[in-house]
A and B are shown apart, each in its own frame.
Chain A
Amino acid sequence: MEKKQSWDWNTDLKEIPVGEWKARFNWVEELNISPDGENIASVVNVDEAAFKICVNGHVGDTEYEKIWSLKSLPDNGFAAFVCADEEWTLIVNGQEWSSWFDFIWDLHITPDGKHMGFAFQKEGEYGMAIDGLPWNRVYSNMAGMTLSNTGTSAAVVQVVPMKAADVDGFKQGLFSVAVNGNTFHNTFLNIWDISFDRAGQNLAAGIRLDREAYTIVKNDVIWDRKFQGVWKPIFSNSGNVLAPVRDAGKWKLFMDNEPFWKKGYDQLWKITPSPANNDVATIVANHFGKWSVAVNDKVWKMTCDTMISDILYSDNGSCLVAVLKDKGLWNLAVNQTPWNLSADKVFTPCISPDGYLVAVVVEKKGKFHLVVNNKIIAGNYDLMTTPVFSPDQSKILIKGVEKGVYKRRVISI
């Protein structure tokens, strides 16, 4: 909030002509816009196997053989993976990290921007590097890299070697969880979907114990109950572990090894606790092919036939938004009420902290529009990214490209 208050909410329009970059460089890659809308950047090619990052039209002196995964940062700068002399590192606002690797990928940034990490491979071994420091231990295989909001890192790692196609060896359980590089005692057949609590001190994951038995592990302690399947567990606000589990042919919500909701569903996933109270929402299919949202085991009256891709709460928990697709077109539903967007694409919604305002970028027939509370308030952009409400909620920041010009626009709502 403090940061947003320092942003420029008074200048109606700022423009940067990004279209002309195409004439300056051999090619211009994806445009990336900072949260405050003041900076726009892209990877640009300047020569054969020579790349730079262009920010607001300016490029630095340093060229790299390759650059990818350019991302904006909470401090309104940019980070990207760069390659020089066939080694890779991360650059943050133009500064290289000191450690270089054979390959790096999967950039994670905490919401406050204080911590960053990625996966690395060096001489055929794998680990994570956080805030410039690689793990002390490396592994022969790694997946499911995760970074907590407080900078704790974890991944699924292979701790027992396996010969090619050794299915009996696989049965013994080759995988463990490494937290900041150090593994759990237990090994499992499979581990998926590592989830941290808010403090980054506890973690839970879905595991498979044998060909048929699935359950949840929390800090290396396995739930007693076994299930036909599990999806990603999530910590509740009070530190309990909630998990979708398949039991007796139905998907149910369990908490700390015990049934939490009474109903069983044809599908249940994406547990979303309210940030303000004890409400818990999930995406459900109450019947085959009929998708909806359940809050505290009560299903919304609304259903859609194709997909619900995400659900999001406002900070005060009063507003729950579902991103959905019905009859082939994308839409939002806000507190059970579908809007009438009929869009080809819907991007991540922005919800005001008090839940009164919901804004979302949609694409229709190749043009981007901004919709606030189910009304288009700006449109016909060639590109648009997620908007931001001003701290007093009287204005909205629009970030989009129109006819080759990037426009940072602040309008009253």
Chain B
Amino acid sequence: MSGNETISIEKSTDDAVENGLSRLTPQRVSHVINQVLHQETGARFKAYVDTCMRCGLCSDACSYFLSNDRDPSFSPAAKVKQTIWEMLAKKGKVSKDFLRRAVHIAHLECNVCRRCSMYCPFGIDIAYMMLLVRRICHKLEITPQYIQDTVNSHSVTMNQMWVKEDEWIDTLQWQEEDGREEFEDLRIPLDKQGVDIMYSVIAPEPKFQAGLIYQAAVIMHAAGMNWTMPASPGWDNSNMAMFTGDNEISGRIARTFFESAARLNVKRIVMGECGHAFRSTYDVGNRALSWAMPPFEVVHAIEFYHELLTAGRISIKKKFTKRVTLHDPCNVSRGRGLHNMARKIVNMTCSNFTEMTPNKEHNLCCGAGGGVVNCGPPYKKERMVNNRVKAEQLAATGAEVLIAPCHNCHSGLEDIIHHYKLNMEVKFLGDILFETMEKKIYRPEE
């Protein structure tokens, strides 16, 4: 795992970026940049621009900086210098080469993980600055191809993977049938009004990982929960538009999601193991619509599993014995503080737990989050190089199994493990719970 790989790495691009750049005029570029920076920002932006002392303390927080042998161009402050400050200094009159680099920095060299904000003496939210750059790229139509396709899918289907409405329902019915191998009367209730819980997932689950829905159904059934899943759009809690700066589509996604819960008259929303989706529904999407807080209680899977285990609704038959370690997803640990709860679940279900270091709110990002993995195959190689420190961190644990309670983290960590030949298996907390739980139905009187 030497740093030599960083020297030869090329900055990739793709057709969407290049075609978009070819369509731009200098007038369009300066108009959009000035419009975003001066009409869509306020005191927060001005404070961040004026306050940064260029001290560089943010550098050591960044996995890109650390993975690239402390190359100063990867320092968070340098990313702002190479994008926002230059745009401001030149009053938006920047070149296409500059924009190509800005696209790359904002989408491929920052996971908006917000680790740097903890290291900044002033707490400057550099992720917000990178998301502003992405907003500019969105308006200039130079967003990388694959993540833009997910946003296009969201805009048409309200899910990120072009899952058609019949495919969604058919998948749930198929998983329900399979689940009857565990419990013969198991159901995935569709559109059941007035229940306590709307369970929501991200689109990759019905598309590629339907077994996770099966597992969730078994857990819900065993725990005796009164739950449902929507049979119409609004079931996908992910929000790629949040990452491309398409705030309008982002808001539409969030509205559809929460109005599903309102239509079904549920008490709360439980969501699967996804970090960015949690941030979207708990922080960003709701606020884009003037909901200061989510209009329904949003419960991440970590909180939900903890609740089921501590309430005795799920009991553990036999603990998982392989040596495990735990990755803390940025959005639910740094963003929400669920890291201690996640450890309690690991300790309740596993007998051999090793911490990785650093951990909890200081954990290093998986390298996939913030939409980076969604930019797709053209950028995979540099994504591997750019998170060498994560591979080193994982290797040091000696664990056989890596638990990652987030879909993006899962994808990114799978790639890193494969690339660096770490011989680890990645699991969700739900995988562990499903494997270790008693497959019996909770009875309060027992």
Contacts and interface: CB of A to CB of B under 8 A. Distances in A.
Interface of A: 26-27, 29-30, 45, 49, 66, 68-69, 102-103, 105-106, 119, 121, 126, 141-143, 156, 164-168, 170-171, 175, 189-190, 192, 208, 211-212, 214, 228-229, 246, 249, 266-267, 269, 285, 288-289, 291, 305-307, 309-310, 325, 328, 344-347, 363, 383
A347 B295 contact: no
Given A143-B165, A309-B262, A363-B194, A29 B173 contact: no
B27 interface: no
A345 B267 contact: yes
Interface in B174-195: 177, 184-185, 187, 189-194
A345 B166 contact: no
A69 B231 contact: yes
A167 to B, nearest CB: 5
A49 B178 CA distance: 12
Nearest to B16: A167
Contact of B169 (A30, A103, A170, A192): A103
B237 to A, nearest CB: 17
Contact of A165 (B39, B149, B266, B290): B149
B52 to A, nearest CB: 27
24 contacts: A30-B192, A68-B173, A68-B190, A103-B166, A106-B165, A106-B231, A119-B166, A121-B164, A142-B165, A143-B157, A143-B165, A164-B149, A166-B149, A168-B19, A211-B138, A212-B248, A246-B248, A267-B289, A269-B255, A288-B292, A291-B290, A325-B295, A345-B265, A363-B194
A212 B139 contact: yes
B292 A305 contact: yes
Interface string B273-290: 000000000000000011
User: Which 10 interchain pairs have the tightest Cβ spacing?
Assistant: A289-B292, A307-B295, A285-B290, A267-B290, A165-B149, A103-B166, A309-B262, A27-B185, A121-B166, A266-B290
B185 A26 contact: yes
B122 interface: no
Contact of B267 (A26, A288, A344): A344
A307 B291 contact: yes
A350 to B, nearest CB: 15
Contact of B248 (A30, A175, A228, A249): A228
Nearest to A140: B164
Contacts of B262: 307, 309-310
Interface in B1-23: 15-16, 19
Contact of B290 (A102, A208, A288, A325): A288
A208 B164 CA distance: 20
Interface in B275-332: 289-293, 295, 297
Given A105-B166, A105-B231, A211 B141 contact: yes
A94 to B, nearest CB: 22
Given A45-B185, A141-B164, A208-B155, A105 B169 contact: yes
Given A190-B156, A288-B290, 7 more contacts: A106-B231, A106-B232, A141-B164, A165-B146, A166-B149, A214-B248, A229-B248
Nearest to A32: B193
Contacts of A249: 39
Given A26-B185, A103-B169, A175-B156, A347 B265 contact: yes
B232 A167 contact: no
Given A211-B141, A307-B295, A105 B165 contact: yes
A309 B259 CA distance: 8
Interface in B125-168: 138-139, 141, 145-146, 148-149, 152, 155-157, 164-166
B34 to A, nearest CB: 15
A102 B16 CA distance: 36
B166 A165 contact: no
Nearest to A191: B156
A167 B155 CA distance: 13
Given A68-B173, A168-B19, A212-B139, A190 B155 contact: yes
B187 A27 contact: yes
Contact of B149 (A106, A167, A175): A167
A319 B23 CA distance: 54
B224 interface: no
Contacts of B252: 192
A243 to B, nearest CB: 15
B16 A168 contact: yes
Most B CB atoms within 10 A — which of A246, A267, A310?
A267
Nearest to B246: A211
Contacts of A211: 138-139, 141, 246
A121 B164 CA distance: 10
B398 interface: no
Contacts of A126: 164, 166
B156 A143 contact: yes
B425 interface: no
A212 B266 CA distance: 34
Nearest to A384: B194
A49 B176 CA distance: 11
Nearest to B263: A309
A340 to B, nearest CB: 20
B170 interface: yes
Nearest to A174: B156
B56 interface: no
B192 to A, nearest CB: 6
A289 B285 CA distance: 13
Contact of B15 (A143, A168, A170): A168
Contacts of B297: 328
Contacts of B152: 167, 170
A250 B259 CA distance: 21
Contacts of A102: 166
Nearest to B259: A309
A167 B187 contact: no
A192 B255 CA distance: 13
Contact of A289 (B139, B232, B259, B291): B291
B251 interface: yes
B187 to A, nearest CB: 7
Nearest to A285: B290
Contacts of B184: 26
Contacts of A68: 173, 190
A49 B184 CA distance: 10
A45 to B, nearest CB: 7
B233 interface: yes
A345 B194 contact: yes
Nearest to B192: A30
Contacts of A305: 292
Nearest to A368: B194
Most B CB atoms within 10 A — which of A165, A208, A249?
A165
B290 to A, nearest CB: 4
Nearest to A68: B190
A113 B195 CA distance: 27
Interface string B347-387: 00000000000000000000000000000100000000000
A266 B262 CA distance: 21
A306 B231 CA distance: 25
Interface string B409-427: 0000000000000000000
Contacts of A266: 290
Nearest to B194: A345
A165 B185 CA distance: 40
B170 A103 contact: yes
A344 B195 CA distance: 11
Contact of B295 (A29, A49, A306, A345): A306
Nearest to B233: A143
Nearest to B157: A143
A309 B164 CA distance: 27
